[in-house]
Amino acid sequence: MSKTTYTGGCHCGAVRFEVELDLETASGRCNCTFCSKVRAWSYLLEPEDFRLLTGEADLGDYQFGTKQGHHRFCKHCGVHVYAHGDVPELGGAFASVLVACLDLKPQVLASIPIRHLNGRDNDWMSEPALTRYL
């Protein structure tokens, strides 16, 4: 695995971050009730591989269900930027970054592999039967 540093942020630029990740590993699209509504496409990271550079005061926090995860969004432009929390089914403490918030060219985005996750049924290791809408 070869990690590279990437930057990203929200639409208005108030929130900026950097991450260490390998774009050749699979990103994820989940079918849970939250992720499917915001069409979340994310990379799951070790917490130490995510660094918030600017905008901590500009972030809102949304939690639902078991309150194991924090979905962070820009209070100004509304873009969901990243998440963090502790979910045993995902291996414990985590961070995740929304792929669309990374500063990447469309050609690079198009080459990122995707794994679909069945969060709706809390069956994280299985792909859902339907994925086209994700």
pTM of the shown model: 0.88
Within a domain: 86: yes
Q: If pLDDT is split at 50, 70 and 90, which confidence band does 5 have?
A: very high
Total Cβ atoms within 10 A of residue 75:
15
Number of domains in the chain: 1
The dihedral region occupied by 91, where left means phi > 0, alpha psi between -120 and 50, and beta the remainder, is left
Within a domain: 90: yes
Within a domain: 13: yes
- Residue-wise pLDDT for 27-54, tens only, equals 999 888 888 899 999 999 999 999 999 9
70 lies in which domain range?
Answer: 4-117
Within a domain: 123: no
- Residue-wise pLDDT for 68-91, tens only, equals 899 999 999 999 999 999 988 778
Residue type, 73: F
Within a domain: 9: yes
Within a domain: 130: no
